[in-house]
Structure 1
Amino acid sequence: MRFPIISSGSKLPVWFSNIKELPSSGKWQEVLYKYNEIKQAGVQLIDPSIFPPILKACVAISFRCGKSVHASLVKQGFESYPSVQNSIMDFYAKSGALGSAMGVFYCMTKTDAISWNIIIYGHLHLGASKEGLELFIQGREVGFEPNISTIVLVIQAYHSLGALDDGLKFHGYLIQSGFWSLTSVQNSLLSMYVDIGMEFARKLFDDVYDKDVISWTVMIGGYMQSDESLFALELFKQMVSESGIKMDGQIMVGVLKAYANLGDIRMAKLVHGFIVSRNLDYDLFVGNSLVDLYCKCSDVDSAFTAFREMPQRNIVSWNSLLSGFVRNQKYSEALVCFHLMGNEGVDSDEVTVVNLLQICKYIVHLHQCELIHSRILRKGFESNELVINSLIDAYAKCDRITHAWRQFCQIKRRDAVTWSTMISGFANCGMPDEAIAVYREMRLSEENPNHVTLINLLEACALSAELRRSKWAHGIAIRMGMASNVAVGTAILDMYSKCGSIEASRKAFDQIPQKTIVSWGAIIAAHGLNGLPHDALALLSKMKVHGLKPNLITALSVLSACSHGGLVEEGLSLFKELTENHGAELRLEHYSCLVDLLARAGKLDSAFDMIMRIPTEMKPSASAWGALLSACRNYENTELGAGALDHVLELEPSVSAGYLLASNIYAAGGSWVDASRMRWMVKERGIKMVAGYSLVHIDNKPHRFVAGDNSHPMSDELCSVIEQMHSCMKMDMRAPPPSVEHNSLYT
């Protein structure tokens, strides 16, 4: 664009006045327009005060133009003016050219407070914290006095670098200099003290006289960061009742996160009402936090209502609702939510894909998993670590370990999460040797395992049921200093119980310093698994003495122990207690376990009645009908077994167990035609037969002996041992009852 040449000197004062006034309204383009008019008119500029607003306009509009102005200043000899030098340095600093700014700074014959503030602020503002603090120290040595903006950035620099000791010393300087009384300075110090410790931050906060919304927000956020949600909420209540501070969306997001961590649905609804009353529900971030809050409180209906009432939504809104459905095992609703996203034109991102993979993992849907894999490739998400780890996990849970391994091998840089996911995948697919081999490879790669890695390794050792391996894994946990971790300690005791070493399980349990309901549940389950139902019940009573109430998982473990131990009355009593305390929360597994308890004890009619009493919203599972069918075989009740068989085959038509049970029932009753028909159906439908096996430990090594398979090298030796044991049992049965004196040894 060409500008007209204007020769009239009468316009010069107007130009100068415009250039100095236009910046106040942010009209930077017009400033440069006036400047070019002056240049085109050939007017000689003799007033250096005209250049600072021109250079500010160049910061906003054109770096190239600013360099041109700098060149003009050098040609006209104005570069030696301190005000002009400061403006040039400010232009370069705010344009991100710190090297050029330093060049100007070093060429200055005399620097003032403005010069130091510009160069220090420029470095700190652009994230060059270390260099900025070095300049700050140099400036203080020559008597430089910083302004408020520089002071705030210096505090933030000490905070970001983690130089908290220097930050504490700077706090002392601020008190001496009088800057401490400024609210912006106090808030910056609060942010730093939050990382030092909340007790120090609280002391400082209490000394702040004029607290603003930032002061309260920093403290509430600090308590949240320290996982002290209750303190955060108490502070929020104090803020509402005492301070009279006007709430904003940022502080409400922190409060909503605190309630989400606590999972208190009653308080969640109260704070929701508070948000509506303050007209903060229009805020997008507050709306997203409300959806997340309700989902974490397991109230997905309220989450959907909050989502629907949001005036605007983004991808985070959709992902929050989708994650909530997945977290609460509402998989069909999650799929509907995903399809609605597509209908609304919202494109999926990495978080969406991870949620979809979670759905595939839980419903074990391989085809959908492969479709999502295709979407990942199309979107270019394969470089995202969370996505690829979730894909490996989903393939493993869908029993496609070769697919999972292929993805794992394609990752060039693996972190602890990736290694842990692959170890877990092999363990989930019943391949403990491969899982342990991956752990060894991980250690060779010098990647440090975390507690999740260790838990997955312990699960693999539990699956192998080899005591020597389990002790090796336990030793690793001890060397890593994680054996006392509650999650790791619980996994250790579970591992030993599956190896049949209940004493080792008890020792591992005793070594957990802070036992949780999960730890107690695991040790109770361990005794039930190893045929010690009375001990399991005793532990349940002991747990109650320690002030812990059994949850549904613990109760299920005790019910299972009662079932395998034949403790019918105890199991019925426990189920009655569960019904009174957790009636609406009882799951299908609890009813199925009680059916198994009654069926094993020969109370077939009672077991059938219990199946009929299962709530209508819970369709009786194949395990419940299977338990009844198995008992019908043991107690030769063909009529009731036939009815149970129909349900088992309907619910699990591709599982061999039901057919084999039915065949055995018919054969025991002499119905050889029906028994043959069951065998023929298995073959006709191509159902894979899963043979039963016994796991026997010999020299601390497990050996699997499959029914009907004599290929194991120790089969003959084991059969000989079993025959000897059988003979001894017969002799004991014929022996006279023990004497009173002998009995007294066991009293």
Structure 2
Amino acid sequence: MLTKHVDMNYWSLSSKLIGAYACCGDLASSKLLFRQTPKPNVFAFNWMILALTFSGFHEEAIGYFSLFQKSKINNSPPNKYTFSIILKCCVGLMDVDLGRQVHGMIAKLGFETDVSVCNALIDMYGKCGEICNAREVFDKMLERDVVSSTTMICRYSDLGKIEESVILFERMRLEGVQPNDFTWNAIIAGYARTGHCDGAFEYFSRMAKEGLTADLVTWNAMISGFVQSGRAIEALELFRDMLIARIKPNQVTVTGLLPACGMIGSIGKGREIHGVIYRTGLDINIFVVSALIDMYSKCGSVEEARNVFNTVRTKNAASWNAMIGCYGKHGMVNSAIKLFEKMINEEIQPNEVTLISVLYACSHGGLVEKGLEIFRSIDSYGIKANKEHYSCLIDLLCRYGRMDEAYDIVKHIGIEVTDSSIGAFLNGCKIHERRDLAEKISEHLRMELKRPGGFVTLSNIYASEGKWGGVQDVREVMKDKRVHKIPGFSMV
């Protein structure tokens, strides 16, 4: 075109060439040509804003939008495509205030009746956390399409408001708007993520009866939801059905599914999933590695967990943490400590979870001094000790009778102390017959006790020494705070 001296203004060739470069991801050429275009039209601006937005350069896209507003070339205002794109940019920046300004321009220029623009507004408000504003736009629409309802349903599902999603879903069907695959998937995923597995399965079955196919995201949400709800066997059955349906799993699938094997202690199922990973050529990322190690650990096979760990060339902190935690759970304290030291030597930065795993191992292995040494060195790793670290330390000291030190730590933490820490401390008082410390700490933290475990332990301490008045006092406090213990039961 340059060598033939083609008139670039003819048929808006400049704008089309800008769009061609933008579509090919050549932003540099798009920008250069844009600067050389004397009077870029709305299409040129739209292409630049679109390309920059979808490439993640949201601030720069806003700059072109502002330039467009200032230029007013040929009295050509932004069109509906401009607004649909710039609203996606607002989502990328998570800037709801900018979104409101754009909404004001939309109203001023009369685009509030355009379905695509309103859909973009619903999406922007919903993703920026303004679900009420999204619903207001939705309710004011004179005409809605399947995208309108699906977008609103997705935003409700994202927030866990599954009841509102279902109402809209059934309403759109009554209004004669047929839900598409995305609509069904949004409902199913919303149910699964909120733990309503029966509801998810009901809609999953209805979708299949209507001849529609669930996508991978929906299968993953279903499997993960059943696992998180403790329904491991059903999650494994879903995975089997997914393979039968010829849906290829991804890393999210197996990462969400592997904990199910640990729940039921089925190393056989775990090995089968491990085999599927290799047979399907699935890339084993750090999340899959950690899930495999954790699965083998919970199923009692430290050797296979270590084999997985050893096969990974590039390990991150999560992989190391999983293996250290595996050793700690199986009482292999020295192995956990050695692996931690090796991690440090290889200059892998430990995180909060690493230190919790090591302290847990020390606690269950009786390495009090080593645990104290590691706890004192937390700051050197750039980590600030949190509640979980203190809980491990209190448990470590209480297990081995160092109650005075544990008492000082509980007092130091004060109102930040966790219920598990209080429970560990009071249990230590009971085992080592330190009613004096139990009374002191219970008086100090009585207003903070919320769970029944600490109260019951304190009550048992009094009862073991025949202090029935103390037992009565504890029961009265529990009654005043409305703390109820679930009755125990036996199973044969």
Common topology (TM > 0.5): yes
CA RMSD in angstroms comes to: 3.2
Q: Cα gap change, 1:58/1:232 in structure 2, threshold over 3 Å: closer, same or farther? A: closer
1:297 corresponds to 2:296? no
Flag the structure with more relative contact order, 1 or 2, with Cα contacts below 8 A and sequence separation at least 6.
2
Q: Which amino acid aligns with 2:240?
A: K
Q: Which amino acid aligns with 1:515?
A: S
**1:276-425 equivalent positions in 2, closer than 5 A:** 276-280=278-282, 282-382=284-384, 384-411=386-413, 414=416, 416-417=418-419, 418-424=421-427
Equivalent residues of 2:184, 2:207 under 8 A apart: yes
CA distance in 1 between partners of 2:368 and 2:150 (Å): 55
CA distance in 2 between partners of 1:484 and 1:355 (Å): 30
Q: Which amino acid aligns with 1:119?
A: L
CA distance in 2 between partners of 1:456 and 1:180 (Å): 58
Q: Cα gap change, 1:371/1:433 in structure 2, threshold over 3 Å: closer, same or farther? A: same
Equivalent residues of 1:179, 1:185 under 8 A apart: no
Q: CA deviation at 1:327?
A: 0.8
Q: Cα gap change, 1:476/1:412 in structure 2, threshold over 3 Å: closer, same or farther? A: closer
CA distance in 2 between partners of 1:134 and 1:123 (Å): 10
Partner of 1:49: 43
Q: Cα gap change, 1:135/1:325 in structure 2, threshold over 3 Å: closer, same or farther? A: same
The correspondence for 2:442, drawn from 427, 435, 439, is 439
Equivalent residues of 1:474, 1:483 under 8 A apart: no
Which string of whole-angstrom CA distances, capped at 9 and with x for unpartnered residues, describes residues 429-450 of structure 1? 5422332443343343xx4512
Partner of 1:23: 22
Q: CA deviation at 1:227?
A: 0.9
Partner of 2:173: 175
Q: Cα gap change, 1:268/1:451 in structure 2, threshold over 3 Å: closer, same or farther? A: farther
Give the unaligned 5+ runs of structure 2.
none
Equivalent residues of 2:122, 2:151 under 8 A apart: no
Q: CA deviation at 1:170?
A: 0.7
Q: Which amino acid aligns with 2:359?
A: L
Q: Cα gap change, 1:74/1:384 in structure 2, threshold over 3 Å: closer, same or farther? A: farther
Give the unaligned 5+ runs of structure 1.
1-7, 487-513, 517-547, 549-747
Q: Which moved more, 1:98-107 or 1:287-296?
A: 98-107
Which string of whole-angstrom CA distances, capped at 9 and with x for unpartnered residues, describes residues 448-484 of structure 1? 5124434543454466553443455456667746433
Q: Cα gap change, 1:133/1:385 in structure 2, threshold over 3 Å: closer, same or farther? A: farther
CA distance in 2 between partners of 1:366 and 1:137 (Å): 63
Q: Cα gap change, 1:29/1:114 in structure 2, threshold over 3 Å: closer, same or farther? A: farther
Partner of 1:261: 263
Q: CA deviation at 1:301?
A: 1.4
Which string of whole-angstrom CA distances, capped at 9 and with x for unpartnered residues, describes residues 223-272 of structure 1? 112211122122223333x3222222222223211111111233333333
CA distance in 2 between partners of 1:290 and 1:217 (Å): 17
CA distance in 2 between partners of 1:349 and 1:116 (Å): 45
Which string of whole-angstrom CA distances, capped at 9 and with x for unpartnered residues, describes residues 657-693 of structure 1? xxxxxxxxxxxxxxxxxxxxxxxxxxxxxxxxxxxxx
**1:664-743 equivalent positions in 2, closer than 5 A:** none
Aligned length: 471
Identity of aligned residues (%): 19
1:158 corresponds to 2:149? no
Q: CA deviation at 1:342?
A: 2.4
CA distance in 1 between partners of 2:455 and 2:467 (Å): 17
The correspondence for 1:214, drawn from 214, 217, 222, is 217
Report SS of the residue matched to 1:44: coil
The correspondence for 2:490, drawn from 515, 518, 523, is 515
Q: CA deviation at 1:130?
A: 3.4
Partner of 2:238: 235
Partner of 2:35: 36
Equivalent residues of 1:319, 1:351 under 8 A apart: yes
Q: Which moved more, 1:215-224 or 1:378-387?
A: 378-387
Equivalent residues of 1:32, 1:57 under 8 A apart: no
Q: Cα gap change, 1:378/1:463 in structure 2, threshold over 3 Å: closer, same or farther? A: farther
Which string of whole-angstrom CA distances, capped at 9 and with x for unpartnered residues, describes residues 266-309 of structure 1? 33333333333333363432222111111111221121122222
Equivalent residues of 1:120, 1:132 under 8 A apart: yes
Q: CA deviation at 1:352?
A: 1.2
CA distance in 1 between partners of 2:433 and 2:234 (Å): 45
Equivalent residues of 1:291, 1:320 under 8 A apart: yes
Report SS of the residue matched to 2:236: helix
1:119 corresponds to 2:121? yes
Q: Cα gap change, 1:411/1:478 in structure 2, threshold over 3 Å: closer, same or farther? A: closer
Equivalent residues of 2:320, 2:343 under 8 A apart: yes
Equivalent residues of 1:221, 1:232 under 8 A apart: yes
Q: Cα gap change, 1:239/1:214 in structure 2, threshold over 3 Å: closer, same or farther? A: same
